[in-house]
Amino acid sequence: MLQSPVLFFAILLLPLVGALVHFFVLKKPKGYSAFLFVFIPFLLSCPSWFFDQKVVIYGFSWLKLEGLDFKVQFLFDSLSNWMVHLILGIGSVIHLYSVGYMAKEEGKRRFFAFLNLFVFFMLVLVLADSLWLTFFGWEGVGLCSYFLIGHYANKEKARLAANKAFIMNRIGDFGFLMGLFLFFAHTQTLEYSLINQTLPDLILSQKAPLWALNLGGIFLFWACTGKSAQIPLFTWLPDAMEGPTPVSALIHAATMVTAGIYLLLRLSPVFSVLPWVREVILYTASFTAVLAALIATKQWDIKKILAYSTVSQLGFMFSGLALEANAGSLFHLSTHAFFKALLFLTAGAVINTLHHEQDIRKMSLFASFDQGLKSKMRVLFLMFAAGAWCLAGLPFGSGFFSKEQILNPVFLSNHPFVFFLLLVGSFLTAYYIYRLFYLVFFQKNSSPSKEPDIGHSSLPALPKTMRFSLFILAIGSFVVSLSNLPHWLEFITEPIINLRLQKIGISPSVLEGSFAKEMLVTSFALGCAVFGFWVARFSFWAQKKEKTGSSSSDHNGLRERKFFIDEIYDEFLVKPFLSIGQALKNFAEPFFYHFPLAIKQSFVFLGQRLGQSGGIFLQPKSIQTYGIIFTFGLFGLVLLFQFFVHF
């Protein structure tokens, strides 16, 4: 099916065509057109679901150097098959949702064009057969993310957030390039299949210095920390919530931020022989999982809580990857894509219904006096409950199955501290999501009836497209767990698993574990999730009885201020950087300012002297005349040169 390049390029290029159409043709799109440009590729790609084979599609040769051929070549194997379906499936649902969400907004043309362009670049990223083509997609999604975060360009916060996201991703991209160069220096190729073959051989036969490849691995993980928001570079993701909510759902929860996971999955044979790098990844990721979850427990902006939750869940995925639980990681990526998109879209619908109120403390102002918001928005309440259930890892939600597949290898790999951290992470996950859930949907209106019309009026109904896409995602976040229930994902992740078995060091039996151990881990995880749920529930009802309402006392707590990470970066990185710039300016000013100034003044002096005698010809006062004189002068010089050469 997909061996025909025509069909393949139709799938790949239709979103790009959509972007161009929205840029140049459609003046006032409603959004259905953008939806079609993603949905049709999805339909076209569906048959390939059943033909799980490795296909290499050759496009053209981008650059031919001596002995080197940089080919635009795509690889369609099980991993990219899975990712393409995920991107196009969730992408089309979110496009459909945006039709309703953006109905009254301005700049729809721009919005839908960049959304389609994003899908194109994301497809390039996951389908590329070489590191440099992946890098092309990697940059492209970053660019689209920048434009979409800054969609409300007249809001200063949105502009700053867009800049922050772009600059931090740039810092990460430096790592990508460095890693790419280091790998290239040792393998002389950038194609995945060759890198995955030659690099492990090089390391095992000790033909390449291990430190260089370790450094390359660290650099690539650095790139992942930028794109996938891990510890040093994660602060851009919460700020990126300034963009419209569908963007937060599609780019900053479901697809783009998982690019780092995808990269490590793709290069898993290389990373499996770099145990030191995997150790670094493991500790960074598990710390991220806990730190972000801790911050999320004290935030008040509904979208920021979800953003920190995304960072934390990505930490879980990276921890799984570091222990080569590739299937589990990919599985958690997929389930997370579903339920986090669901949570974001529901949150967006709530925000839209409540007249752009994002603070969960003020949402109760729209509730009635005897019941919380749940009675006013039944659908959204149920949808959010489904998403929260899955995220918290309560039984039979998709997060329950997938988180367990990450915790299991951690438990079996003798990392008790990491296991403890991840259990704390899953406890906090359940806590913050149910804290949010209770505050939004159960808090009664306690304001002394200043605005009774808000409290009693019914809220605007949800557009049909939004309701429909929420339903699809809610069903999806339960159904997706079927893909890996006992060993069902095996056929999808077959090559990864095979590669994992081929690798040396940890034998597969160590990772399998016994049934009893598995049950132990499951009960641990379940215990943490239920405990978190009950703590959130208990503290909500306890706080309700007190009726304090004023939570300004702990407004400057460590968690509320996000552990001062932004401030630390400002103080220790941004300010020194600026002062270095200032110092350089002071140092260079004599050379680059005063010296040219002296030259200029000498010319001015000369010109004035000559002008007194030369007149208009030497001072025509228009740069165009100078240009003509310069052109003919150059022409004359060339003629003169030719004359001297030939005669």
Residues at the contact surface with another protein, assessed by CB under 8 A: 61, 63-66, 621-624, 627-628, 631
Q: Which is nearer to another protein, 416 or 607 (CB)?
A: 607
- Measured from the CB of residue 16, what is the shortest distance to another protein in angstroms? 23
Structure-token match 């040769």, residue found: 61
Query: What are 70's two structure tokens?
Result: 């940089």
- Measured from the CB of residue 547, what is the shortest distance to another protein in angstroms? 56
- Measured from the CB of residue 156, what is the shortest distance to another protein in angstroms? 20
CB atoms within 10 A of CB 419: 21
Q: Which is nearer to another protein, 61 or 502 (CB)?
A: 61
Q: Which is nearer to another protein, 66 or 453 (CB)?
A: 66
Q: Which is nearer to another protein, 548 or 624 (CB)?
A: 624
3-state secondary structure of 242: helix
Nearest 5°: phi and psi at 354?
-95, 30
Chain centroid to CA 449 = 42
Q: Which is nearer to another protein, 64 or 464 (CB)?
A: 64
Contact 305, 432 (CB under 8 A): yes
- Measured from the CB of residue 169, what is the shortest distance to another protein in angstroms? 19
- Measured from the CB of residue 625, what is the shortest distance to another protein in angstroms? 9
Neighbouring-strand partners of residue 55? 76
Structure-token match 């019941």, residue found: 371
Q: Which is nearer to another protein, 358 or 619 (CB)?
A: 619
CB atoms within 10 A of CB 460: 10
Separation CA 433–CA 291 (nearest Å): 15
Q: Which is nearer to another protein, 576 or 620 (CB)?
A: 620
Q: Which is nearer to another protein, 190 or 341 (CB)?
A: 190
Query: What are 615's two structure tokens?
Result: 């007149």
Question: Smallest Cα–Cα separation from 600: which of 622, 628, 608?
Answer: 608
Q: Which is nearer to another protein, 574 or 628 (CB)?
A: 628
- Measured from the CB of residue 621, what is the shortest distance to another protein in angstroms? 5
Query: What are 553's two structure tokens?
Result: 């006392």
Separation CA 173–CA 132 (nearest Å): 12
Separation CA 84–CA 120 (nearest Å): 11
Neighbouring-strand partners of residue 72? 60
Nearest 5°: phi and psi at 34?
-65, -40
Question: Smallest Cα–Cα separation from 480: which of 384, 390, 352?
Answer: 390
- Measured from the CB of residue 622, what is the shortest distance to another protein in angstroms? 4
Separation CA 45–CA 84 (nearest Å): 8
Q: Which is nearer to another protein, 65 or 516 (CB)?
A: 65
Q: Which is nearer to another protein, 516 or 623 (CB)?
A: 623
Contact 208, 186 (CB under 8 A): yes
Query: What are 644's two structure tokens?
Result: 């001297």
- Measured from the CB of residue 624, what is the shortest distance to another protein in angstroms? 5
- Measured from the CB of residue 372, what is the shortest distance to another protein in angstroms? 53
Contact 263, 223 (CB under 8 A): yes
- Measured from the CB of residue 74, what is the shortest distance to another protein in angstroms? 20
Q: What is the 3-state secondary structure (H, E, C) of 39-105?
A: HHHHHHHHHHHHCCCCEEEEEEEEEEECCEEEEEEEEECHHHHHHHHHHHHHHHHHHHHHHHHCCCC
- Measured from the CB of residue 346, what is the shortest distance to another protein in angstroms? 44
- Measured from the CB of residue 635, what is the shortest distance to another protein in angstroms? 11
Chain centroid to CA 383 = 24
With vertex at residue 92, the alpha carbon angle to CA 87 and CA 98, rounded to the nearest 5 degrees, is: 120
Q: Which is nearer to another protein, 461 or 597 (CB)?
A: 597
